[in-house]
Structure 1
Amino acid sequence: MRLRTGRARRTHVSEWTRGLVVVAAAALTVCALAPDAAAQAWGLRPRTPVAQFPAPLSGQATAAPHPTARAKDKIFVLPVEFADYSHNRIPSPDRSVDNSTVWTADYSPAYYQRQIFGTGSGAAGGSGDTLNAYYRRQSSGAYTITGTVHDWTRVGHPLAHYGTDTCKKQGKPISTYYCNQRLVTDGLNRWYEDQRAAGRSADSLRTYLATYDTWDRHDHDRDGDFDEPDGYLDRVMLMFAGESQVNGGGVNGSDAIGSHRGTVSHLQTGAGELGPAGGRKGGGSEVGDSGIWVDDYTMTNENRGLGTLAHEYGHDLGLPDLYDTSGAENSTGFWSVMGQGSLLSDDDELAVHPGDLGAWARLRLGWLDHVTVKAGASSTVTLNPLSVPSGTAGPEALLVNLPADADGNARYYLVENRQYVGEDRFLKSGPFQLGWAPGRSRLKERLHYERGVLIWYWNTKYRDNKTRANGGYGRILPIDAHAEPARTASGAVIRGRLQAYDAPFGLRPTSPLVFHLGGVRTVIPARPGVPVFDDLKGVHHYDAAPYGSSHDADSGTTITVDEEHADGRVKVSVGSTG
């Protein structure tokens, strides 16, 4: 699929240094912005907006730049039910055998309005946490969302018409996404028809929908101005009645829809000739006869948790999946909400408390206080925890600029400090596995991830994290400090998301990891801390775990954890292999 890109308008932002940065024979760049009043009230620090990049569907990624991050977005939210399946029909789970399925008695528009747009308490994981509050925290107050959740709208077809795995176009098999996309068109058109039947005029609906079109996502007129209408709804979010196919689909089984991000124009015949009058011809479909069109959207199931919502909305902001979408398990694990971190919880159901986006995703969105150093030049930096719950000054990540590879591809190490604060407090008990107890596939076993300094290898040669297809390489992968494959009681190599539990570098020893497979107990014993990463002398990729361990750059770079402070700060130094 050809990916559309826009020309990002460059915005000059002054850089100013603050925080605990000690430099030895190297110049550092620290990027930050002064907080606004709302951010100060929450103890948050906005970051510099930088280019976004598009991810047309879950599992698809591109490195192409995209328009600069906005301060606020307005989302058109539409819950949709089917001719044969209405909302609020998901049965209450038996918690003795199912402690993972998300459930509430009434999925009303008011429920979604609070969950998506509520201001929340400002604290990660609070009972009133919301999508708006999550992204406000992740951006340190630089980004908020607003909008309206409309009434449940019933389309005229059964659920299988949109969710079937045997989707066809003109009698020929085609990707199930094509059938999913019909729900966007049918849902918005039915909503429009219902509004007209209720007495609203075409002019009033056109005026109303125009309030959701203030952004030229792809700069279709090439004037460098993205803050203008383009004839398309800026952000569209659909919830469909029933469970996600990813979780088995409930009573709907293989006819259920999976949560995803997509475009109506994907697989659309003649998409390049369709579009608003006088606007870009990007395909999609018109909402009624309003003159306003829809193309980009996210779609989630009725009972999805906040983490799933944060993950799919991350796609709409331009972030790709970081897990291996081909089915293998890479080292990303629960370290990012764009990986399995969207499924974190505490004592609750799955995906209730989204994890941190991670430094790479925040860097791409312009929401990261970070220091940049050049490989080969010695430097020392003190890093705050990545998920800082207060306004403590100082950088949260370190970007090490490495020499390009032989083909000119840029490469970096991205160093972040992961501690049990903010979103990262759910790393302490939120990771999990299902299927550990025979006959109880929905019963989760809670695990933990270690805290410490997590080092990611960012290799622009690769467009995704499909390590199976890439020979163990990926676009952005954590390097495991304890990379030698751990094994189960039977001697089998453990899966990638478990292997990644002790990936951080640091001074302190790890804690044992206890888990079960088929009811059989396995213990990964405590191991000494690993304070030094050396990409020439260290071994970080093993043939026994070809997809769950990561290659490095072999550049002669060292990154050392020198100090770990009681308040969560760490001092790290960058040097060269001796």
Structure 2
Amino acid sequence: PKMKRRHAVLCIWLLAAWLPAALSMIASPHPFMEKQPDGQEVKMHIHGTEVFSYLSDEAGYTVVQGNGNAKGQRWLEYAVLDDNDELVPSGLVVGKADPKKAGLNKRTTPRKETVMKKCRAKKFCSDDNSGPAKPKMSIQAITSGNLKNLVVAFKFADHATRPVPSRENLDVIMNAVGGDSELAPTGSVRDVFTVSSHGQLTLESTVYPWVTVSGTEAYYADGDSGTQVLWEGLKEALDIIDSDPAFDFKDFDLDNDGMIDAITFLHSGYGAEWGGTDAYGTGYRNRIWSHKWAMYSPGPWTSSNKGRGTVQVYTYHISPAVWGTSGSEIGRIGVIAHETGHFLGLPDLYDGSGGSGIGAYGLMANSWGFDGSQRYPPIMSPWSKTQLGWVTATEITADGTYSLSGSWNTPQVYKI
């Protein structure tokens, strides 16, 4: 396509501030059905991120679960804000009451200050100066060449007998060049970064055999789709691997800075970002929302010294190894690639409050892909590529006619 520059000013406000908070998968675009105590099914949607999420009906009215009646039944009810700026049930039952006639507003949510206060309490936000050193957004040291990535697949204690993808199949979705016709028909996670980096970054993942941690899924979710309690499980999984005399974390510290070069956690549950209740009866608040963050309190995990020094794990990202909310189909590349982008240092480029952000054509804004399957995640946006050093933008300073080729195979970017 051709682009002609005229005397005009184009202002793009993008990431005025990189919020120091957990960077997470945006909520599923797929509606889901929930059953009321009388058996009536209602169609619901989930919105938001790990930092704050909420449910709505098809019309966009906010929904919460009721407190329970004398029979112990908890109905889905329309939400209102109380005096503490908290979402509480209104007594108006979804599927029976008319929220519009009742004078309720669509998309009722707490103020940002209330959301951030709760987020800080679970240590997934850190926009104040209290407490230990907080995670800071920065580009990782290794964004070109070979990046060795340790994949830690772990089961929750109550999932010991659940069917999960094999280690070999996880290796396929992470590493197979060109993908696999059944497991990764559009390419692997490695392929996503090979294409986006124009061949400059090769993500080499090593999948360790499944380990089982001592806590349940609900314990680590902590009633809020994951809090700092999750770090206990992550550190326990690392301890189990570290106890293997044949395994040395130093193999994943090629730049010898004492920090692991890259790490991916895959868990045995269904992602909380799907919303709803899964096939085992677990609600999304008791599942883990896919995210990238850092184990900053009380501090990073440190390996044993097996002769070459210790290695620390501080930043991490976590995704489900299984797809959807039922069955044991292997997870898909969209969420893992998106969270890996965070690990490299990129922020979310979507609008968690419901806007479109940069739109559909960037991995950090649209990890679900054009069809919501996570099999067709877009490549990195030009801005993301420049941040990671994969392309250099040419600034347009004069009138003229300029040509651009397809961004997927040409490292060409103009800055207006």
Give the TM-score normalised by structure 2: 0.60
- Aligned counterpart for 2:148 among listed residues 74, 77, 82: 74
User: Which residues of 2 match residues 498-509 of structure 1 at below 5 A?
Assistant: none
- Aligned counterpart for 1:58 among listed residues 23, 26, 44: 23
Q: What is the CA–CA distance in structure 1 between the aligned matches of 2:363 and 2:339, rounded to whole Å?
A: 10
Matched, 1:262 2:262: no
> 1:319 deviation in Å?
0.7
Matched, 1:214 2:240: no
Which residue matches 2:358? 332
Which residue matches 1:344? 369
Q: RMSD in angstroms over aligned alpha carbons? A: 3.4
Which residue matches 1:293? 312
Q: What is the CA–CA distance in structure 2 between the aligned matches of 1:122 and 1:137, rounded to whole Å?
A: 17
> Closer, same or farther in 2 for the Cα pair 1:380/1:55, shift >3 Å?
farther
Deviations along 1:204-239, one digit per CA (max 9) or x if unpaired, are 53xx22110123xxxxxxxxxxxxx12222111110
What stretches of structure 2 of length at least 5 have no aligned partner?
7-17, 25-124, 126-134, 323-330
Q: What is the CA–CA distance in structure 1 between the aligned matches of 2:318 and 2:179, rounded to whole Å?
A: 26
Deviations along 1:289-317, one digit per CA (max 9) or x if unpaired, are 65332112110012232111110000011
Q: What is the CA–CA distance in structure 2 between the aligned matches of 1:139 and 1:264, rounded to whole Å?
A: 28
What stretches of structure 1 of length at least 5 have no aligned partner?
1-19, 25-52, 90-105, 168-175, 216-228, 270-282, 389-393, 401-578
SS at match of 1:315: helix
Alignment: residue pair count = 281
Q: What is the CA–CA distance in structure 1 between the aligned matches of 2:140 and 2:293, rounded to whole Å?
A: 16
Matched, 1:318 2:345: yes
Deviations along 1:250-300, one digit per CA (max 9) or x if unpaired, are 2322211011111111xx13xxxxxxxxxxxxx301235653321121100
> 1:240 deviation in Å?
0.5
Q: What is the CA–CA distance in structure 2 between the aligned matches of 1:330 and 1:21, rounded to whole Å?
A: 24
Q: What is the CA–CA distance in structure 2 between the aligned matches of 1:63 and 1:158, rounded to whole Å?
A: 31
SS at match of 1:356: coil
Which residue matches 1:396? 412
Matched, 1:84 2:158: yes
> Closer, same or farther in 2 for the Cα pair 1:296/1:355, shift >3 Å?
same
> Closer, same or farther in 2 for the Cα pair 1:299/1:121, shift >3 Å?
closer
Letter in 1 for 2:202: T
Which residue matches 1:519? none
Which residue matches 2:27? none
Which residue matches 2:237? 187
Q: What is the CA–CA distance in structure 1 between the aligned matches of 2:219 and 2:411, rounded to whole Å?
A: 50
Which residue matches 1:252? 282
- Aligned counterpart for 1:115 among listed residues 167, 170, 173: 173
SS at match of 1:231: coil
Letter in 2 for 1:141: G
Which residue matches 1:487? none
Deviations along 1:44-100, one digit per CA (max 9) or x if unpaired, are xxxxxxxxx9977306897766646331100111100011114754xxxxxxxxxxx
SS at match of 2:227: helix
> Closer, same or farther in 2 for the Cα pair 1:65/1:76, shift >3 Å?
closer
Contact 2:172/2:180, CA 8 A, preserved across alignment: no
Contact 1:56/1:263, CA 8 A, preserved across alignment: no
Which residue matches 1:135? 193
SS at match of 1:343: coil
> Closer, same or farther in 2 for the Cα pair 1:284/1:68, shift >3 Å?
closer
SS at match of 1:177: coil
Q: What is the CA–CA distance in structure 2 between the aligned matches of 1:63 and 1:371, rounded to whole Å?
A: 25
Q: What is the CA–CA distance in structure 2 between the aligned matches of 1:54 and 1:211, rounded to whole Å?
A: 32
Letter in 1 for 2:402: V
- Aligned counterpart for 1:358 among listed residues 381, 387, 403: 381
Letter in 1 for 2:293: G
Letter in 2 for 1:362: K
> Closer, same or farther in 2 for the Cα pair 1:331/1:150, shift >3 Å?
closer
> 1:357 deviation in Å?
1.3
Moved more, 292-301 or 59-68: 59-68
Matched, 1:383 2:404: yes
> Closer, same or farther in 2 for the Cα pair 1:121/1:306, shift >3 Å?
closer
Q: What is the CA–CA distance in structure 1 between the aligned matches of 2:378 and 2:333, rounded to whole Å?
A: 10
Q: What is the CA–CA distance in structure 2 between the aligned matches of 1:111 and 1:373, rounded to whole Å?
A: 46
> 1:395 deviation in Å?
6.2
Q: What is the CA–CA distance in structure 2 between the aligned matches of 1:306 and 1:256, rounded to whole Å?
A: 20
Give the TM-score normalised by structure 1: 0.44
User: Which residues of 2 match residues 504-543 of structure 1 at below 5 A?
Assistant: none
Q: What is the CA–CA distance in structure 1 between the aligned matches of 2:336 and 2:139, rounded to whole Å?
A: 24
> Closer, same or farther in 2 for the Cα pair 1:382/1:395, shift >3 Å?
farther
Contact 2:147/2:202, CA 8 A, preserved across alignment: yes
- Larger RCO (CA under 8 A, 6+ residues apart): 2
Q: What is the CA–CA distance in structure 2 between the aligned matches of 1:23 and 1:256, rounded to whole Å?
A: 50
SS at match of 2:394: strand
